[in-house]
Amino acid sequence: MKLTKLLTTAAVALGLATTAMAQDKTKVGFVYVGPIGDGGWTYEHDKGRLAVEEAFGDKVETVYVESVAEGPDSERVMTQMALDGADLIFTTSFGYMDPTINVAAKFPNVKFEHATGYKRADNVSTYSARFYEGRAIQGHIAGRMTKSNIIGYIGSYPIPEVIRGINSAFIHARKANPDVQFKIVWAYTWFDPAKEADAAKVLIEQGADVVLQHTDSTAPQAAAQEAGNVITFGQASDMAQYAPFPRVSSIIDDWAPYYIARTKAVMDGTWTSTDTWDGIGAGMVGIGEISDAVPADVKAEALALKASLADGSYHAFTGPLNKQDGTPFLAAGEVADDGTLAGMNFYVEGIEGDIPQ
């Protein structure tokens, strides 16, 4: 058993060596959870890939595989990229975490970058964006603009990433409008236009006139447009085709600068394993143009909030805040530390309903 393992490892290493010699281009692989035409999450990652190609021209070669299921399939796709001589592989979904670590252990000379996870290794970095900063701005606009005082929220999976977004949006919606209620629907998918449209319709029928989404398709935008009096925000991508109404603004993930910097680091041999969590200030989170459907004073407030988040003078989770059950979370003036934010698994006070268990 030992011998065969040794042989396989040797064969893998050999395969690597031959391909590495055959090319002097830096090869960068991308593993996507959705189709590149999803108009949201994967679309933005692919824009980052194209930016890498543009930045380095023929010094770089990029490859990608889209709609890769999390689990053994993703492990196979990553291995295949590594075998084919990739020097750097970006795995762009939370569920790729264990597969990324497994494959990275087999290919110590290939660098891996896993989005939104928490497991690192010598050749595995993690990166994510502080989307919750954008959620604060959405929450503020939503709170100021709702007439029914009911804000609908399409959650994907009840993971800290999504719960953080809900809390941030809620805190700032309540600040702008103390009567605001949140209605949350869990879609259990990142990308499923049919399910997302259903979720949006359910929320609209329950009286929501603002629909926030943490899923990646434009289906909720279309549902809002049909309803006529409901506003939405682009998710992951600008979704500008629904501007100026119902889409009044958006959170845009801008991975391009990060992808270019990391590719450069591999080329220069300066790549090290890091954990990056950037927000509006560093440009990883962009706020799409706030459309004219938003009153001028609300827009000005939103932009001021954006500026204070960007320069660090304000943190989206600043006390006094209680948890949903009334126990204290942050004292007045205290801000949440990154550890708490990273593993956030509770609602803040005022949100109704339970996080699915």
Please, what is the end-to-end C-alpha distance for the chain in angstroms?
Answer: 41
Minimum distance from CB of 263 to other proteins (Å)? 17
Q: Does residue 75 contact residue 81 with C-beta atoms inside 8 Å? A: no
Judged by CB under 8 A, which of 159, 260, 282, 293 binds other proteins? 159
**Rg of the chain (C-alpha set):** 21
Judged by CB under 8 A, which of 50, 343, 352, 353 binds other proteins? 343
Judged by CB under 8 A, which of 23, 109, 229, 345 binds other proteins? 345
Minimum distance from CB of 357 to other proteins (Å)? 4
Q: Give the single-character DSSP code of 213.
A: E
Compare residues 73 and 334 and give the one whose CB is closer to other proteins: 73
Q: What three-state secondary structure class fits 330?
A: strand
Minimum distance from CB of 250 to other proteins (Å)? 26
User: In 3D, which of 138, 137, 88 has the Cα closest to residue 114?
Assistant: 88
Per-residue x/- track, 55-94, other proteins (CB under 8 A) = --------xxxxxxxxxxx-xxx-xxx-xx---------x
H/E stretch holding 342: helix 338-342
Tokens of 273: 């394993």
Site residue total, other proteins (CB under 8 A)? 46
Sheet holding 124-129, edge to edge: 60-65, 26-31, 88-91, 111-115, 124-129, 275-278
Decide if residue 166 touches other proteins (CB under 8 A). no
Minimum distance from CB of 321 to other proteins (Å)? 18
H/E stretch holding 212: strand 210-213
Q: Which residues inside 87-106 make contact with other proteins, applying CB under 8 A?
A: 94-95, 98, 102
Decide if residue 241 touches other proteins (CB under 8 A). no
Question: How far, in Å, CA of 148 to CA of 134, rounded?
Answer: 23
- Give me the residues that bind other proteins (CB under 8 A), please: 1, 4-5, 7-8, 11-12, 15, 29, 35-36, 63-73, 75-77, 79-81, 83-84, 94-95, 98, 102, 118, 157-160, 188, 342-345, 356-357
